[in-house]
Amino acid sequence: MSADSGPTVQARPWGLNPYGVVTILMITSVLSYLDRTLVGLMVDPIRHDLHIGDTQIGLLSGFAVALFYALMGLPFGRWADKHNRKWLIVGGVTAWSLATAAGALTHTFAGLFCARLLVGVGEATMGPAALSLIANLFPKYRLGFALALFSTGITIGNGAAIALGGALVEGLKAATLTLPIIGDVSGWRLVFGIVGLSGLPIAGLIALLVREPPRQTQELAPNLRAVLAQMRDHLPAYGLVMVGYSLMVVMSGAQALWGPAYFHRLHHMPIGQFGPFFGVLMGIGGTVGLLFGGAVSDALTRRGVSAAPARVILVSIILQAPLLIAAYLAKDTGVALAFFGAGVIVLTLNGALQTATFQRVTPPRMLGSVWAIYLIFANLIGGGLGPVLIGGISQHLSPGGERLGQALAVVAVLVLPLAALLVFLALKPLAQGERRVAVS
């Protein structure tokens, strides 16, 4: 099969056309990020209510979801390579929605931590299954834009989590809902319940509107030993990219998990005021940046540029570092918002291109498993240890969290230059991998 071969983008007899499938998967991704970023939106209300510090908030907002997300990603990736992907997504959406709603019933750190662990289990289904479906629906020369469209769920979801969630927090902070058996539910718990239960109708729509497409090739998916052998034989490409991209994720996750708390604490912006700014920034600016990154990658590919997705990501890392550091150290609120906004838009350039990188160097029936292995690195390093590291440094510098901006700047200085170096070193091995897949 040549590098450009694959299914054509047209209406299919098995259900929605390819762009329709991508759109409904994108909406599901929005829901995923809504659930995932709720803790970051309500850092201080949760911290004060449960009597915990920034380190514990880092565990709740990152590590709890990332742990089971990473552990379950590989089994679910193997499932996506072998079995029905639609029902895997339906089950995952149902599971993480109920787990988010369960967070509304907790009154201890341990209880909320367990609920967030279960959110990670459900969300681990989404990446491998959606990536595998999309790879079946588009030829490689259109895959960058298709993946970018799907990945707009990241930017829209992050924006919606802050904008809509912020409005809910402001509107419901004095509200109390009394339920049979459960009793009173109020404040941040009420937000958890509303957002969590809203996922159940989405799961129903996927079950009704999306059908499992035939795979591009009918051979059996290789076993895990073969997948690991593929990665071992081409370790420079896979290893450098997986670690480099995971370090990049530390800061791309920090803007949603810690950004609202930073502007609330250091610049005294109410969540209700920061929410609309962040919603527009991510929902519009971030989405434009993400689609632009995918379009640039596709244009470079058509011109014969090797490792195009990784090259765009490298530029994104280099540009975002000074912008984010300046944002987190600025004293003036307007200056901080300007640098923060520019940094966030630049970092969204890479949103869809991580998946495109692996797609170009991996045999199709191994893609779900390889992506799941990458998610282990990305979630444990970027999504898990990153928020805890930022929270720990913040709490060390100031127990009350008043030096959160300095903590964010320190971590950016530590991780972004190293991420850029690793991605740069990966360009040649990635180009070799693309040539190998093209002739296979």
Q: Sorting pLDDT into bands at 50, 70 and 90, what band is 216?
A: low
Q: Are 237 and 432 in contact (CB under 8 A)?
A: yes
pTM of the model: 0.74
Amino acid at 439: V
CA 145 to each of CA 80, 244, 288, 402, 434: distance values in angstroms, whole numbers, following the listed order? 22, 23, 12, 41, 18
Assigned domain for 29 exists: yes
**Selection from 123-127, 224-228, 407-411 with the highest mean pLDDT:** 407-411
Q: Are 256 and 386 in contact (CB under 8 A)?
A: no
Other residues' Cβ atoms within 10 Å of the Cβ of residue 284: 14
Alpha-carbon distance 242 to 236, whole Å? Answer: 10
Assigned domain for 6 exists: no
Six-digit token string for 228: 């690991």
Assigned domain for 183 exists: yes
Q: What is the pLDDT of residue 4?
A: 45
Q: What is the pLDDT of residue 321?
A: 93
CA 102 to each of CA 171, 186, 193, 194, 204: distance values in angstroms, whole numbers, following the listed order? 21, 14, 7, 11, 20
Assigned domain for 241 exists: yes
The CATH number given to whatever domain includes residue 170 is 1.20.1250.20
Assigned domain for 9 exists: no
What sign does the dihedral 113-256-378-201 (CA atoms) show?
A: positive
Assigned domain for 370 exists: yes
Q: What is the pLDDT of residue 11?
A: 40
Q: Sorting pLDDT into bands at 50, 70 and 90, what band is 376?
A: confident
Q: What is the pLDDT of residue 94?
A: 94
φ, ψ dihedrals at 257, nearest 5°? -80, -35
Q: Are strands 183-186 and 176-179 parallel, antiparallel or unpaired?
A: antiparallel
Which residues lie closer than 8 Å to 223 by C-beta, 6 or more apart? none
Q: Sorting pLDDT into bands at 50, 70 and 90, what band is 157?
A: low
Q: Which domain holds residue 264?
A: 18-438
Query: Distance from first CA to last CA of the chain, Å, rounded?
Result: 7
Q: Who has greater pLDDT, 370 or 245?
A: 245
pLDDT 10s digits, 107-144: 899 999 999 988 888 888 887 788 778 877 777 677 77
Assigned domain for 7 exists: no
Amino acid at 152: T
φ, ψ dihedrals at 15, nearest 5°? 145, -145
Q: Tell me the average pLDDT of the chain.
A: 82
pLDDT 10s digits, 384-397: 788 888 988 988 89
Number of structural domains in the chain: 1
Q: Sorting pLDDT into bands at 50, 70 and 90, what band is 149?
A: confident
pLDDT 10s digits, 417-428: 999 999 999 999
Assigned domain for 274 exists: yes
